[in-house]
């Protein structure tokens, strides 16, 4: 008992020192968190302002009422783009990884060009292309999807290539010796094992396409305003309104929820690598 008292003083001193360090560490982290979240919080705060004074959800009611179509369009284009990206990337990845193609590196580099092209340049080229050669889809839903696919399929292709390179050929061979033809081998064995690559590609495509603005600005038709473009248009035409902030908050929130859900659903199964375990 007496010993405890004897060392009580310095130990209490030391622990208060530790408290100080740990407090500083936390403060540091919170500072950066706050800086990152500040724009979002500001938007949410402004979205809650009522034009007639005070605070309300009026902005959100208005956003859901009049921007519903824009939000739905954004989701639709995103989902269709993801599906097309998958359909393009899996065969392309097989060709590149499993078959001897001359000039593989060059082809791969060329395929990735769209990732390094500035959005404005991309938008301009596409709008010129649609105007001169593809007027039938100019300004339509499919024009948007085509633009997004061209711009983002490398985001799907690259993770699928990496996953395929890491996938030992022995699983496909085992499937074939067990009587599975080419399609069954692909669908039952290889694509499930490429899961981590494909889901990473889905996440990347979603985040980019759902929030895409610059290319859309160039090519979207009158009736085809995505949510991101709508925000810009309203701000440019009518200045700030709480409903615009509400729409922005909704978009931000949707992205956030999708990413969270993604990690919840796929994170444990694929990203942590039970596969090949």
Partner 1 sequence: MARVTLQDVTKRYGDTVAVDRVSAEIADGEFVTLLGPSGCGKTTTLRMIAGLVELTSGHIRFDDQLMDNVPTHKRNIGLAFQSHALFPHMSVAKNIAFGLTNRRAPRAEVQAKVEEMLDMIEMTGMGDRMPSQLSGGQQQRVALARMLATDPRVLLFDEPLSALDRNLRDTLKYSILELQRRTKKTAIYVTHDQSEAFAISDRIMVMNQGRVEQAGTQLDIYLRPETEFVANFVGDNNTLQGTVRAIEPGTDGIREVVVDCSGMTVRAIAPADLAAGDAVSVFVRPEHIEVLPDGSREGQDGVLRGKIVQLVFEGPTLRMTIDADGVPLHVSVSGTERLALLDQANASVWVELRNPSVVKNPPAV
Q: Is 180 a binder of partner 1 (CB under 8 A)? A: yes
Question: Counting beta carbons within 10 angstroms of the beta carbon of residue 170, is it exposed (0 to 12), middle (13 to 18) or buried (19 or more)?
Answer: exposed
- Binding status of residue 267 toward partner 1 by CB under 8 A: no
Q: How far is the CB of 194 from partner 1 (least distance, A)?
A: 11
Q: Angle at the Cα of 198 (from 194 to 203), degrees rounded to 5?
A: 150
Please check whether residue 198 is in contact with residue 191, taking contact to mean a CB–CB distance below 8 angstroms.
yes
CB of 277 to partner 1, least distance (A): 4
Cα(233)–Cα(214) distance, integer angstroms: 12
Task: Single out the residue of 188, 223, 268, 272 in contact with partner 1 (rule: CB under 8 A).
Answer: 188
Instruction: Give the interface segment with partner 1, choosing from 25-33, 54-62, 182-190, 231-239 (CB under 8 A).
Output: 182-190
Q: Which of 203, 190, 131, 86 has its CA nearest to residue 182?
A: 190
Q: How far is the CB of 177 from partner 1 (least distance, A)?
A: 4
85, 150 in Cβ contact below 8 A? Answer: no
Nearest to 75 by CA among 141, 150, 126: 141
CA 116 to chain centre: 17
Let me know: does 85 contact 201? Beta carbons within 8 Å: yes
Provide, rounded to whole angstroms, the least separation between the CB of residue 236 and partner 1.
50
- Among 41-49, 186-194, 211-219, 240-248, which window interacts with partner 1 (CB under 8 A)? 186-194
Q: Which of 23, 39, 91, 192 binds partner 1 (CB under 8 A)?
A: 192
User: DSSP letters of 156-190?
Assistant: HHHHHHHHHHHS-THHHHHHHHTT--HHHIIIIII
- Among residues 23 and 168, whose Cβ is nearest to partner 1? 168
Among 52-60, 127-135, 189-197, 223-231, the segment contacting partner 1 (CB under 8 A): 189-197
Nearest-angstrom CA–CA distance, 233 and 29 = 36
Q: Which stretch binds partner 1 (CB under 8 A): 129-137, 165-173, 222-230, 248-256?
A: 165-173
The C-alpha atoms of residue 73 and residue 76 are separated, in whole angstroms, by: 5
How distant, in Å, are the alpha carbons of 75, 89, 155 from that of 200?
18, 13, 9
What minimum distance in Å lies between the beta carbon of 185 and partner 1?
A: 8
Specify the stretch interacting with partner 1 by CB under 8 A; choose among 131-139, 163-171, 243-251, 259-267. 163-171
**C-beta of 21 vs 274, nearer to partner 1:** 274
Contact map string, positions 194 to 233, toward partner 1, x by CB under 8 A? -x--------------------------------------
Which stretches of the chain bind partner 1, using CB under 8 A?
Answer: 168, 170-171, 173-181, 184-185, 188-189, 192-193, 195, 274-277
């Amino acid at each position: 008992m007496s010993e405890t008292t004897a060392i009580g003083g310095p130990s209490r001193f030391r622990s208060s020192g530790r408290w100080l360090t740990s407090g500083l560490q936390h403060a540091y982290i919170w500072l950066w968190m706050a800086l990152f979240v500040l724009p979002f919080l500001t938007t949410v705060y402004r979205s809650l302002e009522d034009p007639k004074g005070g605070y309300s959800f009026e902005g959100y009611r208005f956003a859901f009422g009049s921007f519903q179509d824009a939000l739905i369009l954004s989701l639709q284009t995103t989902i269709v783009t993801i599906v097309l990206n998958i359909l393009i990337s899996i065969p392309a990845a097989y060709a590149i990884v499993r078959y001897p193609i001359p000039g593989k590196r060059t082809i791969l580099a060329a395929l990735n060009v769209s990732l390094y092209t500035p959005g404005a340049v991309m938008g301009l080229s596409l709008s010129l292309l649609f105007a001169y050669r593809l007027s039938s889809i100019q300004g339509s839903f499919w024009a948007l999807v085509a633009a997004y696919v061209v711009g983002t399929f490398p985001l799907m292709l690259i993770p699928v290539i990496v996953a395929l390179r890491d996938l030992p050929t022995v699983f496909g061979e085992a499937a074939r010796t067990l009587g599975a033809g080419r399609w069954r081998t692909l669908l039952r064995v290889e694509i499930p094992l490429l899961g981590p690559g494909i889901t990473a590609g889905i996440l990347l495509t979603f985040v980019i396409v759902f929030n895409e603005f610059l290319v859309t600005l160039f090519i979207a038709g009158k009736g085809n305003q995505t949510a991101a473009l709508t925000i810009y248009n309203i701000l440019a035409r009518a200045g700030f309104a709480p409903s615009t902030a509400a729409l922005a908050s909704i978009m931000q929130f949707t992205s956030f929820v999708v990413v969270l859900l993604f990690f919840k659903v796929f994170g444990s199964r694929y990203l942590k690598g039970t596969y090949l375990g």
